[in-house]
Amino acid sequence: MMHAYHRILLFLLLGCPTVGLFAQLEVNNAPPITPENLISNVFLGEGVQVTSITYDGDPVAVGLFTNGAASIGMDRGIVMTTGRAVTQGAQLGVASPAGQQASVGNGSTATDNDLISIVGAGIGVRNVSKYVIEFIPTNDTLRFTYAFASEEYPEYACTNYNDVFGFFISGPGIAGPYENGAENIALIPGTDLPVTINNVNPGVP
């Protein structure tokens, strides 16, 4: 049986990290945790043969979360943010107390043309966390679960601060409009709209 080779691009672009929504979470990114082994040890389960994992962004922007079932319906997984995943001094992570605003970026210089096409020309992207995962599926079905949140929602909805999440997959049998013929499978449920704060919002500032 031949297996098709696929490529996943997993991105998160937020104007600033989300704080307070996930206050029950515990987040860790201390060694031996690295951006790469988060994918191989947490994100990917059975049914795939991974051939390559590449992370582009600041390592402080990703971490392992646990204790998330009550708040987001997932007990454990990977958190990706435009700020810090874990609080360090005055720079707040995603599990900081509600009502405290984390307004600093992580300094990532990563970028991506597909994200730019989603948010719109002339807006640009900042503080991108980006994974590229190359794999061969060994089963006929792959499932991914994610939660999207933005500290800039709702006050910056309908502005140029359009936080976005993209999950692009390419490979045999996929002919999407993005680089390498990729298709973005992170869509607002029941629509063909990409996941952004402007698309979650009904269009009223």
pLDDT over 90, % of the chain: 20
Amino acid making up residue 109: T
Strand partners, 164: 13, 196
Please give the residue range of the domain that contains residue 120: 6-200
| pLDDT above 70: residue 15 | no
3-state secondary structure of 65: strand
pLDDT at 184: 94
Residue 91 lies in a domain: yes
pLDDT at 99: 61
pLDDT band at residue 4, thresholds of 50, 70 and 90? very low
Tell me which residue of 49, 25, 55 sits closest to 37, measured CA to CA: 55
pTM of the full structure: 0.83
pLDDT at 143: 80
Residue 78 lies in a domain: yes
Of the ranges 12-26, 57-71, 101-115, 121-135, the best mean pLDDT one: 57-71
* Cα 200-112-106 angle, rounded to 5 deg: 80
8 A C-beta contact, residue 65 and residue 26: yes
Residue 205 lies in a domain: no
Please tell me the total count of domains within the chain. 1
Residue 75 lies in a domain: yes
| pLDDT above 60: residue 103 | no
8 A C-beta contact, residue 173 and residue 183: no
Residue 137 lies in a domain: yes
C-alpha 17/C-alpha 75 separation (Å) is 20
